[in-house]
């Protein structure tokens, strides 16, 4: 295993990430680089960032997703293109990154850190692509494909089940149509330090309350609560 100058704590964190995602790296420094945001190179001379890995990973992600859609769905090309666009988007990838703990492993410049960079969807999504690129270089296409499918299948299922619209929009449209009223969201709890809080949100439809659902921010928690309502409410 290639580890170069990584300290023990960093190696331990990267190893734990790999174990949780059921992947292995021969060159852990390559995985480490995938977490290095470009803001780091603005503050540290000769520091490597993840932009080139992101470029590669974007293509691998697209290929794996397109291939899977072609093999498993009989939809026309236009539908497949829309599904692919939805599941490989920043909107889809950022929550996946948070669920994997990518935010905790990011390395970035002080300025970006102070501006909340760890929870910015664009940075999280880009890092996911960089991880895919790094894994492809380290272990080859087949293993990279397995990793991508471990999370992209679920995103495809969501789009095929619920459509392209987000859960809050779907819930509002359905509830308005049947009740001429709006869902009401409420933050019922908030835990953790200011920079790493977990929000708990409920949504009320008439006299029924659904949730609470958790998220790294209010918006994500509301989306999760809306999904619970969509799955449970009898429209």
Q: Is 129 a catalytic residue?
A: yes
Name the token pair of 90: 């920043």
Given the residues 32, 58, 126, 222, the one annotated as active site: 58
Helical packing angle, 77-87 and 90-100, nearest 10°? 40
**d(C-alpha 92, C-alpha 82), whole Å:** 13
| 120 CB neighbour count, 10 Å cutoff | 18
Q: Is 58 a catalytic residue?
A: yes
Nearest residue to 121 (alpha-carbon basis) of 16, 220, 50: 220
> DSSP alpha helices (H): ranges in 73-217?
77-87, 90-100, 102-105, 110-114, 121-139, 141-162, 167-179
Given the residues 103, 129, 145, 222, the one annotated as active site: 129
SS3 50: coil
Q: What are phi and psi of 208, to 5 degrees?
A: -110, 135
Cis before 212 (ω within 30) = yes
Name the residues annotated as catalytic.
58, 129
């Amino acid at each position: 295993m290639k580890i170069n100058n990584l300290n023990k704590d960093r190696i331990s964190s990267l190893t734990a990430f790999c174990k949780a995602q059921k992947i292995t790296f021969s060159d852990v420094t390559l995985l480490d680089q995938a977490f290095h945001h470009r803001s780091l190179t603005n503050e540290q001379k000769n520091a490597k960032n993840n932009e080139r890995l992101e470029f590669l990973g974007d293509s691998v992600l697209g290929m794996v997703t397109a291939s899977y859609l072609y093999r498993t769905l009989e939809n026309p090309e236009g539908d497949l293109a829309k599904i692919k666009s939805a599941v490989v988007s920043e909107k889809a990838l950022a929550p996946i990154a948070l669920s994997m703990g990518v935010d905790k492993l990011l390395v970035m410049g002080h300025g970006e850190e102070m501006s909340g960079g760890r929870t910015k969807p664009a940075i999280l999504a880009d890092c996911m692509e960089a991880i895919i690129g790094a894994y492809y270089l380290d272990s080859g296409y087949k293993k990279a494909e397995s990793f991508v499918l471990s999370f992209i299948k679920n995103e495809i299922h969501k789009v095929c089940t619920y459509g392209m619209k987000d859960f809050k929009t779907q819930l509002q449209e359905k509830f308005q149509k049947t009740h001429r009223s709006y869902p009401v969201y409420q933050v019922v709890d908030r835990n953790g330090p200011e920079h790493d809080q977990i929000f708990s949100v409920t949504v009320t439809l008439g006299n029924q309350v659904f949730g609470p659902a958790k998220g790294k921010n209010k918006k994500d928690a509301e989306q999760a609560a809306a999904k619970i309502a969509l799955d449970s409410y009898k429209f």
